[in-house]
Structure 1
Amino acid sequence: MTAEQLISFARGAPSLDIIDVEGLKAAAARAFDADPAGVTAYGTSVGYVPLRKWIAEKHGVSPDQVIVTNGSLQADAFLFNHLVQPGDDVVVEKPTYDRTLLSLQNLGAKVHQVTLQSDGIDVDELRTLLESGVRPKLAHIIPNYQNPAGITLSVEKRQALLALAAQYEFTIFEDDPYVDIRFRGDALPSMLSQAVSINGAENLVVHASSFTKTVCPGVRVGYLVGPAALIDAIAKKATNLYISPGMVSEAIVHQFCVSGDIERSVATVSAALGERARVLGESLRKHIPGATFTEPDGGYFLWVDLPSDVNVDKLFPAAMKKGVAIVKGSDFLLEGGHSSVRLAYSAVTVEQIDEGVRRLAEAIEEVRG
């Protein structure tokens, strides 16, 4: 492998070798055979109706609580645009997904970042913020294998968040695209499913997920689950924006799901990424002994805190020169993160990982010296 070949730890996307291309081709053929009229028509703003029904059954809700969108980023955008006005307080995790920060800042929201601990958002810090008089419209939470930190929110904290949402009347936006990519541990109940048991919380969770991480990014299919009235209001805005999302890709995803191919795809991606995460951890310990990190139990990302004399603004170009791409920790924070990086292990093969970390270690030594 030559230095010219870029090894990218930058993008949270599955590599081609773990995408079920044959399964998707077969699902496409079945979609056109089974429902040529539905696949080729405009469709409806709530998404391809059979897929909407499948998602509703998966989450144990009624179909009128689901809208299927062009990727979960659009689902996020619909919700933010619907709920957040300029000047509104919004809570996000610290660190959080860079595009979430950008979207909320572009809407003029007042963003409060609350510290992420090893078991999820610091609920005591959030409680103190709420007690100080801040009244957020929503709290954006990535509960499983968080992007960028790889952290999972504990069951206890899920319940504590729901109680705070009921008490202070804010919406929990449970942004959950990584949930099925689990390497170890048990699946935890979603806040969406837990909310029904907490008095006053049943309408306070909006849940988003996506088929990007389990099927492939190219389908661009994500969705929102929430109170029927909220989903209806968002669907009306979606109608005005684009009439309907892509019926072809949603029908392909539907066939992929009902055939059971989705379970096989999840198993393939989870096994491959579990192996890559393990190798990445080993390589970091070997080549960058001063680095600290928590190995994730699933998902796509590993967050690394480098020694404090490493500045990622200098490291980024030095690493690129050596043929390795990273994302700066500072991209995920309103302030700080200047010695941290996010490494995505999804698009790199096991063979590339050690070489990529070795190059990164060389770049670190250069910028420290």
Structure 2
Amino acid sequence: MAPILFTRGAPSLDIIDQEGLRDAAQQAFTKDPGGTFAYGTSVGYVPLREWIAEKHGVDVNQVLVTNGSMQADAFLFELLVSPGDDVVVEAPTYDRTLLNLRQRGAKVTAIDLQTDGIDVDAFQTLLESGTRPSLAHIIPNFQNPAGYTLSAEKRARLLALAAQHDFVLFEDDPYYEVRFEGTPLPTMLSQDENNRVVYASSFSKTMCPGIRCGYLVGPADVIAKVQKIATNTYISPNMVAQSIVNEFCRSGRIDQSVATVRVALRERKDALVNALKRELPDAVYTAPQGGYFMWVELPGVSIEKLFPVAKEHGVEFVKGSDFLLEGGDNAMRMAFSGVTPEQIDEGITRLATAVRSL
């Protein structure tokens, strides 16, 4: 029995534009072999940097392209977070973010995530109590792991709080393009009038995970400091990958790729919701409008006990407790991006059998 994996937040091979990536690679190698095969500079492949700047309506010196958005995160944390610094995150939040911040010795405060984003009232209360975070990490669209989206009202309030209390609002936004329902909301970056937002995104979710290409957009002085860290880290990032991404974006194939991914993700989300309704009617969740993940709670079920039993039944997920400083024992993250609707249906059937066996 082949395992069905709800574990990885990545598009499956069948929805990746393999032909388009091959064409983009050929164009990159042919059009600009010098720029593609050389070391380059620490800000990234210059034409791609220019494309990103144009996309976000910013000056090119506000952009830095990295080897994946996780490296962008790590560079920003290295610049802004020192041991003992207060940092605010969502609860739950991406497990690697928690790991990185704790390794830096940050004092992490996790504020509850609601279905329309972080509890801004609780955040404001924390700030008014005297806590002075150097940074607040927010995943605004189809949050990893919960799948929730930050409302327009809360975006405006966070921008005001960042300006008032002088902290960096880190808008970590790799899922923005993969909305399959509802109306897109403007980024906080596009509404920032006080230079408090640093924005990160990635091409892994719209092109392919293996491309490992992400970027930061922010105030020019912040990006210049991050550039120094990048220079000392690797001289330059992967020029071959970034040149391919540049050709893929400029050819328009990126738009086709995003459209394909959106259609597939909506089908997979629907399959997950329908299977849960049928097999686990007591499950608690909010169906996302985009992205790769859904946060599922099973009242009265210990996920710690369920996890190994589910694995024996041929289905795997990520425990909710991995994304929290404490709690989450009845929750799990279900990634529906890398499995077909048929696999989802079978996987939830197996999961329900495992739950009943407890």
Fold shared by both chains (TM-score > 0.5): yes
User: 1:233 matched to which residue of 2?
Assistant: 225
**2:274 counterpart of 1:277:** no
Q: Deviations over 1:219-243 (max 9, x none)?
A: 0000000011111111111111101
**2:296 counterpart of 1:299:** no
User: 1:140 matched to which residue of 2?
Assistant: 137
1:294 Cα offset (Å): 0.1
1:20 Cα offset (Å): 0.4
Query: Secondary structure of 1:52's match?
Result: helix
User: 1:83 matched to which residue of 2?
Assistant: 80
Query: Secondary structure of 2:200's match?
Result: strand
User: 2:210 matched to which residue of 1?
Assistant: 218
Question: How far apart in 1 are the matches of 2:307 and 2:48?
Answer: 41
Question: How far apart in 2 are the matches of 1:192 and 1:307?
Answer: 38
1:340 Cα offset (Å): 0.2
Question: How far apart in 1 are the matches of 2:7 and 2:191?
Answer: 34
User: 2:316 matched to which residue of 1?
Assistant: 325
- Structure 1 spans left out of the alignment, 5+ residues: none
Structure 1 runs of 4+ off > 3 angstroms?
none
Question: How far apart in 1 are the matches of 2:97 and 2:319?
Answer: 16
Q: Deviations over 1:113-152 (max 9, x none)?
A: 1111111111100000001110000100000000001000
Query: Secondary structure of 2:326's match?
Result: coil
Q: Deviations over 1:178-230 (max 9, x none)?
A: 0000111111000000112xxxx2x1000000000000000000000001111
Question: How far apart in 1 are the matches of 2:223 and 2:313?
Answer: 47
Question: How far apart in 2 are the matches of 1:243 and 1:366?
Answer: 54
Question: How far apart in 1 are the matches of 2:107 and 2:81?
Answer: 10
Where do 1:1-369 residues align within 5 Å?
Answer: 4-196=1-193, 201=194, 203-308=195-300, 310-367=301-358
Instruction: Look up the equivalent residue of 1:59 and give its one-letter code.
Output: H
Q: Deviations over 1:58-117 (max 9, x none)?
A: 000011000000000000000001100000000000110000011001100000011111
Percent of residue pairs bearing the same amino acid type: 65
- Structure 2 spans left out of the alignment, 5+ residues: none
Question: How far apart in 1 are the matches of 2:3 and 2:51?
Answer: 39
Give the aligned length: 358
Query: Secondary structure of 2:136's match?
Result: strand
1:26 Cα offset (Å): 0.4
Instruction: Look up the equivalent residue of 1:279 and give its one-letter code.
Output: A
Question: How far apart in 2 are the matches of 1:195 and 1:239?
Answer: 28
Query: Secondary structure of 1:206's match?
Result: strand
1:314 Cα offset (Å): 1.2
Query: Secondary structure of 1:143's match?
Result: coil
